Structure 1
């Protein structure tokens, strides 16, 4: 078993050296912690799938430190794609582009002729990539299907002994992964909502874009992470609770013979039955998005919690990203009376 080291920002040169040797290093972003490997080293990338238990047809995001690094793999970048890069990079937007044939391994792209690129808004990670002088793949640094990690401790919990190290930069600031937009097609399409909203992107492009609700078939390769497989799920069954149904949901919880987790705002805490455990999501959708994965992990560590009631938010702006992740965690299950 590997000894998984914790690297502080002052140790970046050592962590970068490990990446160039083909080792796996988890890294911080403003959204969640990612699991890094040299994107040009096919063997290292294959080890990412093994460490996470991730399906091999699920493509990986290529994380870069500069626009010039993208140009190593992509020569035809549209004016609209450049507008998005200028407006949102570094930041929480992943952009799918057509790549030069053979420039990246099929292990990275899932066999597609496109790749997803992102430049995170985290100085530590951009410096790490710059020191290694290679782009790194960047799926979330957790066991596949489990809640995404928002602290180095979450990563250690899932991947200790499976990876060489973790760069610790404290808790992430956003909490839900990046927005993914497909710019390889005639009409830009959001494949995964995130911190950069649909409205912000349309405002920059000054044109209509689409939100692709397509569910990928069993034999189809997804263009982006999170489109095909169940994600973010704790061991307990999550039920989404709409605002007007909390009273009935807590009456139901009180009747259960097991412990019920409650992910909600403070106003629900005072109403909890004795068999409920509480995790505070905060007061609005921004704080809820920041705290969602931490809350799911909090209850996942408690074997006595068999059900989790989680607060819904309107699917507007950041609420689209929050509800996208929560629906995946719940398998689209809502509390019904």
Structure 2
């Protein structure tokens, strides 16, 4: 299986869009861009402002031999909730960044799917981080199901963003609760005087005034789009605990489940 052919087919199908492809680093790519790794992650974003920035950089003579790109870190503190609006970036980074390009709210909400195309020719690609582009969609294009990597990266897997067990987390401790026990857990916390905030997708009984509540759509794409903004809002609600209603255990919700599990593992690590 020729990985260069796979990369071309995937780029044709999903770019511009939320798919990052991990490829072998070409000699012309500086190692400072790849963090010293022999692989590089590439993506063409679909947002018009990001595309305008890339075009402006190319017109200004950036890149090499007519090819250019922009290498940059995420606009959030390590391990914290990803920003989905310019205000989130300013909240978190303050004066550490002199300029923020405001393209409005991020429509996808969660980070891109990361697909590793560096394994040997006889091995399938590896899905290192789930996102809006699912492994089923990828298989439809390339004719083979990618291997889903669920453990932290080792020496044989490229280091990628969002691969740690604890990530995308609020400073307030966060707990995932099955839908059938949600009201019971909230009532118990209320009875003991603990201030809790709630993130749900089901309709709850009348919300007591003692806690903040955000209800997101029971649709994986719409939920993903609003997830990080909702977590940031609840993280600022002066609660002792964020209760999150578990989402359905289906492939369509896999990317959201991944982010919630990492948020629960990392929540409160550097805060309350």
* TM-score, normalisation: structure 1: 0.70
* Alpha-carbon RMSD: 2.2
Match of 2:199 among 263, 288, 299: 263
Distance 1:332 1:165 in 2: 29
Q: 1:241 to 1:294 in 2, by over 3 A?
A: same
Q: Does 1:89 align with 2:25?
A: no
> How many corresponding residue pairs?
254
Q: 1:163 to 1:77 in 2, by over 3 A?
A: farther
Partner of 1:43: none
Distance 2:166 2:225 in 1: 20
Q: 1:317 to 1:332 in 2, by over 3 A?
A: farther
Q: Does 1:150 align with 2:87?
A: no
Distance 2:112 2:239 in 1: 30
1:3-33: per-residue Cα shift (whole Å, max 9, x none)? xxxxxxxxxxxxxxxxxxxxxxxxxxxxxxx
Query: 1:77 Cα shift?
Result: 5.7
* TM-score, normalisation: structure 2: 0.86
Distance 1:251 1:79 in 2: 56
Partner of 2:29: 103
Partner of 2:129: 192
1:154-182: per-residue Cα shift (whole Å, max 9, x none)? 11111121112111111111111100000
Q: Does 1:162 align with 2:99?
A: no
1:227-261: per-residue Cα shift (whole Å, max 9, x none)? 13631111111111222221322222222323101
Query: 1:274 Cα shift?
Result: 3.6
Distance 1:193 1:246 in 2: 26
Distance 2:247 2:202 in 1: 15
Q: 1:138 to 1:178 in 2, by over 3 A?
A: farther
Give the SS at the match of 1:160. Answer: helix
Contact 2:107/2:225 (CA < 8 Å) preserved in 1?
Answer: yes
Contact 2:113/2:129 (CA < 8 Å) preserved in 1?
Answer: yes
Distance 2:168 2:97 in 1: 21
Matches within 5 A, 1:1-337: 78-101=4-27, 103-105=29-31, 107-133=32-58, 134-185=68-119, 186-216=123-153, 222-228=158-164, 230-265=166-201, 267-268=203-204, 270-302=205-237, 304-331=238-265
Distance 1:330 1:237 in 2: 7
Distance 2:254 2:75 in 1: 23
Distance 1:222 1:236 in 2: 31
Contact 2:168/2:262 (CA < 8 Å) preserved in 1?
Answer: yes
Distance 1:249 1:85 in 2: 46
The structure with more strand, counted as a fraction of residues: 1
Unaligned 5+ residue runs, structure 2?
59-67, 268-272
